[in-house]
Amino acid sequence: MTQVHVTTTVNGDEVEFLADPRETLLDCLRDKVGMTGAKEGCGTGDCGACSVTLDGRLVCSCLVLGVEAEGKDIGTIEGMADGDDLHPLQAKFIEYAALQCGICTPGILVATEALLKKSPDPSEEEVRYWLAGNLCRCTGYDKIIRAVLDTARDLREGV
């Protein structure tokens, strides 16, 4: 099929690629842009491992076509840290051992960053429902939820 030229912004940088109209944004990010931080766990919108933001909105990049990224602003896990300075969520996940295998971690971090922007003081229940679309098979979620709640507290208190 004829490839489509796509111009988009990823983590603030302009990026161009050629996409088959059937290719997902996830495939394009990974195979064309060379950003493999977003993972494919299911390809059907059920696991959240491919979470990115599209013009600030949290999406499953496996459910977005690459060609839909034209002119959009995409945020991925690769853009979460500020240079060597980890985002507080990233630091807290390491400190709390909120990852075991780590395959779900990029998606969960992108999703929780979006949550905290929208809701700086979430309840445990709110975090659990927000993350209900991000599967983690290793941790039982306990340490993830604690890391999110305590990061939110630190950010509110300006720690």
Q: Which residue has the tokens 């400190």?
A: 95
Residues linked to residue 20 through DSSP beta bridges, in sequence order: none
Tokens standing for 78? 């690769």
* Binding residue (CB under 6 A) for ligand FES from 3, 11, 36, 100: 100
Instruction: Kindly state whether residue 22 participates in binding another protein, applying the rule CB under 8 A.
Output: yes
The amino acid at 3: Q
Q: Which is nearer to ligand FES, 6 or 50 (CB)?
A: 50
* Binding residue (CB under 8 A) for another protein from 13, 46, 55, 121: 46
Among another protein, ligand FES, none, the one that 17 touches (CB under a kind-dependent 5 to 8 A) is none
Write the DSSP assignment of 1-65 as a string of letters: ---EEEEEEETTEEEEEEE-TT-BHHHIIIIIS----S--S-SSSSS-TTEEEETTEEEEGGGSB
Tokens standing for 12? 């603030």
Q: Which residue has the tokens 């208190």?
A: 157
Least separation in angstroms between residue 145's CB and another protein is: 7
E-state strands within 11-124: 13-19, 51-54, 57-60, 73-75
x/- mask, another protein, residues 117-146, rule CB under 8 A, reads --------x-xxx-xxxxxxxxxxxxxxxx
Least separation in angstroms between residue 75's CB and ligand FES is: 16
Q: Which is nearer to another protein, 30 or 72 (CB)?
A: 30
Contacting positions for another protein (CB under 8 A)? 1, 20, 22-23, 27, 30-31, 35-44, 46-47, 49, 76-78, 80-81, 86, 90-91, 93-97, 99-106, 109, 125, 127-129, 131-146
